[in-house]
Structure 1
């Protein structure tokens, strides 16, 4: 390979240092586009050419003032002004290359957003010790997406190197806002998946038989995705003095707590896995005022549509009842639903064949565990619905902490192994006359 492990690690650490959460990945996208252009890519779509901004749900949609502030920050941190301008200040990158040889259209998806959390500035945490820790407040790459970006850029270089021996068209989708569940939809509605025959996505740090996948391991496909829906629930009541006129107050904090406790008491479902969580509660302005407004953030997940509908009905019933108990009105803002999906067996076999050619992968398994949700399933279903094939790969890597822990870090050797894997996949697809 032309790209050494050191080069790919350098990319990963750069993106780790400048994490950006969903729909704020402005520097990230500009830098990706800049690197792709330097490599020699010409067909590069960014921002409003890469994503449909109409799919951005209201809770995470930036105001014009907020977006201008994020653009200013991105430029101050080295974001390429020309690419930011071309993107109209929005994230997302799609690079496409036509090999010139007749063949299928193959797409690889790499999510690029960070999580809302604070990375610990403490000795023993490698990003701190080696000075690539997040410099952006309340933003951290604790889900491996910085590694996914680096793999995508490594693959981009190798595609150009092997272009003459490959067939068909190849798309590299650098997707924003996976954690907020609208990024994949924004690329689907923009049409980037319409002609895709084979779709590949992956994640660092998944599991096999419900145990973490260690370094030198790979799960060639995942099928246990849960559907997921997130809601913001706004309770509206009436403020009052808790002593002088408590009977006049309509307490939204109590309603929010009542709803949260009862939502967490929803029974499991006999048909399969069901999960529900209230992750945030905001209410009140001071100790001596009955809270007039409250917000709770809720998500529920299910293994199939029956379970998801069960969760939906129970959550909505509880919210309505809590509001009624305290004589409140309420409003629900729906982030939308991410569906379940399954990897195609044909694709798992392709990944398995290609993984055997990568010496780093010593333990190769057919199936791995997600045990959660990834909006890559929106893309998978889009491709599968028009007759294409899709797969979601679990890349094994020793980790310091579980995913979504701000101390999360991983064995960076997986980056070069994954790049090699995807190069082998493209070669195998190109050499197979039946594909």
Structure 2
């Protein structure tokens, strides 16, 4: 238990009960700003987006710690609402806990620690905005974290890196004219086109040695009149691949598929990539520092090898856009179930103070390198 465990519980409860969607995290940003400023530390906010940064210490090296602050939009107990089913409420709590621990030692810090509270991770665009704002331009190290489902790590287990796969989220539209249900020869049924797309996507094959998947995750067509054949529809596609080059091959074939179906039916189908998260490029130095932090904080029994997961995170844009930054994400085992993005996701909150201990140790070790 850390000295701030009760405070961590209070922080988590507030953030958990007040989720906000990507790019709409205004109250979350304001609350974080007020909390940090109440500790005598100034913050930097932005005129054109949510999120903020704060720092303690001074000089080099600069070690940054990032938390994502947005929530998902999903149906919970029959009602659509914002929901922290990806654990970002816990991530913010861990970073604030690290902030509190290091604040007590600020006079002993041999460098600068920057805390980044990033919006819109779920959209895959928040990290790019923060890069644009220059928040890691002078950073030597960057640490993130993510709760892991029970299938990957057990309670009390931590891994020094997360090897995320690439993720590409695509939205598309089928545009045509409606027709009377008795005259199907007068239009192309958008529902039939959607079914063809699903079957064709399921028939795409790539290197089986590289984990990958592509699936239709949304499809809307038609209205309340069952005797109208819809000519238009909207759909979404989620693509995942463990390697960036496989992702490129998948989406290239998907594009050819879209053109083929559109030409065959003589209709218009358009697509747009709404989020594009790259696969992780692991940094050995940052991973080694995080491993030392786990062992020093919790002992060797708590440390596990780097996690490989097909999930994605826009955290990896920081190192792709700023290659000089040594970055890694702490994998936090916490008995998370039934799984990430499940509306009823739960986890063992006792993992939060342990994660704070690990992150605090890792930051201190990075400052000493």
Place the TM-score, normalised by the shorter chain, in its bin. over 0.9
> How is 1:367-378 mapped onto 2 (pairs within 5 angstroms)?
367-378=306-317
Aligned equivalent of 1:46: 45
Answer 1 or 2: which has greater strand percent. 2
| Runs of at least 5 residues in structure 2 that lack an aligned partner in the other structure | none
Query: Are the equivalent residues in 2 in contact too, given 1:264–1:278 (CA < 8 A)?
Result: no
Match of 1:320 among 251, 259, 262: 259
Change (3 A) 1:429 1:246: closer
Query: Are the equivalent residues in 2 in contact too, given 1:354–1:424 (CA < 8 A)?
Result: yes
Aligned-pair Cα RMSD in Å? 2.1
2-structure distance, mates of 1:310, 1:260:
18
Match of 1:260 among 153, 177, 198: 198
> How is 1:267-416 mapped onto 2 (pairs within 5 angstroms)?
267-270=205-208, 272-285=210-223, 286-359=225-298, 362-383=301-322, 385=323, 387-416=324-353
Aligned equivalent of 1:67: none
| Runs of at least 5 residues in structure 1 that lack an aligned partner in the other structure | 54-89, 122-135
**How many residues in Structure 1 have an aligned counterpart in Structure 2?**
368
Query: Are the equivalent residues in 2 in contact too, given 1:252–1:328 (CA < 8 A)?
Result: no
2-structure distance, mates of 1:220, 1:280:
35
2-structure distance, mates of 1:327, 1:3:
67
273-282 vs 364-373, greater mean Cα deviation: 364-373
2-structure distance, mates of 1:176, 1:370:
22
Query: Offset of 1:316 from its aligned partner?
Result: 1.2
The alignment partner of 2:207 has SS state of coil
The answer on 1:150 being equivalent to 2:103 is no
The answer on 1:113 being equivalent to 2:113 is no
2-structure distance, mates of 1:410, 1:366:
21
Query: Are the equivalent residues in 1 in contact too, given 2:160–2:304 (CA < 8 A)?
Result: yes
Aligned equivalent of 1:203: 146
Query: Are the equivalent residues in 2 in contact too, given 1:342–1:391 (CA < 8 A)?
Result: no
Change (3 A) 1:364 1:265: same
The alignment partner of 2:173 has SS state of strand
The alignment partner of 1:428 has SS state of helix
2-structure distance, mates of 1:271, 1:2:
43
Aligned equivalent of 2:28: 28
Aligned equivalent of 1:177: 120
Aligned equivalent of 2:50: 91
